Structure 1
């Protein structure tokens, strides 16, 4: 049975995929919108809501020059500074408690991504059931150790990390007390392309690190998430918004409510479809065996008459001898008279006199 739990939810390959709706900055600096996102995530059937806990000052310096300015024209956030971006995207700390309260009232597990020790302390005061480390922080070993020391389940996105960096990250978490570890395959581009997602890494990562593996997905739609579940992912995290058309720092690569609902449904269907190694009819298929072909008399026959391709055929339904016995039947004669439409059985056959 699944031993790992986040709050009241089991997480593992013998449980439905654990779907995390990532609010991030899609509240657009409105608490009312943040609470509406909580309700929409619950209505869509998500299992957890995740925030990010930081301030601009815990993330960077208030500079708009050099490396502190986002100058890449391909970036969603080109033309602003890191400080302004984090100011626009952050969730005010005084909002956490009402957001957490609403999420719990709606049956969602709720937790966050801390970015420094002060945010860990703050989240501990709110009684979070788990923590998430962002891809950009998976090389921040002191932060990982600080979070792992809480003893709570730890989810780490692996975006950009080399195998050596992942090994360091996992060792840091486990050595600091993390017992329940989940690694998320992640591509840290926004949005990410399916071609750069490399989902075949999921079973390899599970084998290497011996822990639960999931997907933090920035691709459009739900296809990558469904495929990840087929490859063994037990957790799926997706950014979530009320409406992409209304904008926001993460809106362009976020799911809308109907899409989140589809994600929950389709990933659970994929998980259900995995089943186990199985051959032969399932219990539900047994009633369909009648629709196989079998050997029937297709013309009235007299006793002693030889069977031939003119009076025996393989047709539906499947109540007669299997078609593989046709050669033996053709080397036999009828033991007694047979009517057209008679399903052949062994007692109808008599060896031909030599």
Structure 2
């Protein structure tokens, strides 16, 4: 599904602070960092929630980055204007990046289809929105879906909704839906189990700080890594606290690529590059000049490097044997030197 694995996505989210030139600068920096794709989010406050100012429409978790915020105002602050999508997509594509988005309602799917996006992302909080998932499946395009807080049964329901419509290429992302997420809450073994139980490609939507979880996920078979991106955390941004700066994203890309390359294949007997090094294993050598007819003892022999003589496993077979010819110190021992 992806030319590079892991396929690294820089999520712009609302870190552009609704500044178009800043958004373009973020895309430029992401491309220089070596990512494969940039992702936007396509919604308006009205497609996300109601303009209500009390109760459950307020962020009530005291440990949240957005504690005390009104949901409607928060989404108004974080949205990417829809008129920006095409110029940002075009700019990203001109830099060789894949450009796509997460739709949050049916109108967003229709809008993104008008832009002919190459794939779709279902956000973790939307993965129980079966009508949205069905609308995305009907496009026939690849889908990346964050599983977040979903139970395995809910994941199965979402997959079934897609498969009832089409055979869209599907990648499931392990995701911890806290912001920022604690590294200890990553539970990356779930990702590998998810691949085994569903047969889908898997990856990680990572909200931790740093690159450790992404590298570990790569080692466990992640084909996609998604990270929020910001030019400068100290300048703020709605998701800045758990977003990667350009130098960090570059390190993530390079380290994940190295981790993927290091996986290689199941190999015994050493790689091709190691074959020359085998000469520096140990073997049995003569330790002094000896005449023909000498009965070899452990005083005459030594197991040393290099490995041009008989292998050490033959030690008990050669001690006590009689030399058939004269030998010199430093000569590797072979069968034809003995009677």
Q: Same fold (TM over 0.5)?
A: yes
Pairing partner for 1:158 from 127, 147, 153: 147
Counterpart of 1:273 in structure 2 is 262
Pairing partner for 1:310 from 295, 299, 304: 299
Which secondary structure does the structure 2 equivalent of 1:171 belong to? Answer: helix
Moved over 6 A (4+): none
Q: 1:71, CA displacement in angstroms?
A: 2.6
Counterpart of 1:251 in structure 2 is 240
TM-score (norm 2): 0.97
Q: 1:273, CA displacement in angstroms?
A: 1.7
Counterpart of 2:18 in structure 1 is 29
Q: Does 1:237 align with 2:237?
A: no
Write the mapping of 1:33-72 to structure 2, written as runs, cut at 5 A. Answer: 33-72=22-61
Pairing partner for 1:147 from 133, 136, 141: 136
- Note the aligned Cα RMSD (angstroms): 1.2
C-alpha distance in 2 between matches for 1:174 and 1:40: 37
Which secondary structure does the structure 1 equivalent of 2:303 belong to? Answer: strand
Q: 1:103, CA displacement in angstroms?
A: 0.4
Q: Does 1:138 align with 2:130?
A: no
Q: 1:53, CA displacement in angstroms?
A: 0.5
Unaligned runs of 5+ in 1: none
Q: Does 1:200 align with 2:200?
A: no
- How many residue pairs were aligned? 339
CA contact (8 A) 1:64 1:80 kept: no
Write the mapping of 1:76-225 to structure 2, written as runs, cut at 5 A. Answer: 76-225=65-214
Q: 1:283, CA displacement in angstroms?
A: 0.8
CA contact (8 A) 1:145 1:176 kept: yes
Q: 1:63, CA displacement in angstroms?
A: 2.2
Counterpart of 1:285 in structure 2 is 274
Q: 1:308, CA displacement in angstroms?
A: 1.6
Counterpart of 1:329 in structure 2 is 318
Unaligned runs of 5+ in 2: none
C-alpha distance in 1 between matches for 2:106 and 2:312: 72
Deviations 1:192-251 (A, max 9, x none): 112211111122211222211111111121111111122221111111111111111101
Deviations 1:287-310 (A, max 9, x none): 100111111111111111122221
Which secondary structure does the structure 2 equivalent of 1:43 belong to? Answer: helix
Which secondary structure does the structure 1 equivalent of 2:322 belong to? Answer: strand
C-alpha distance in 2 between matches for 1:49 and 1:153: 16
C-alpha distance in 2 between matches for 1:284 and 1:326: 29
Which secondary structure does the structure 2 equivalent of 1:334 belong to? Answer: coil
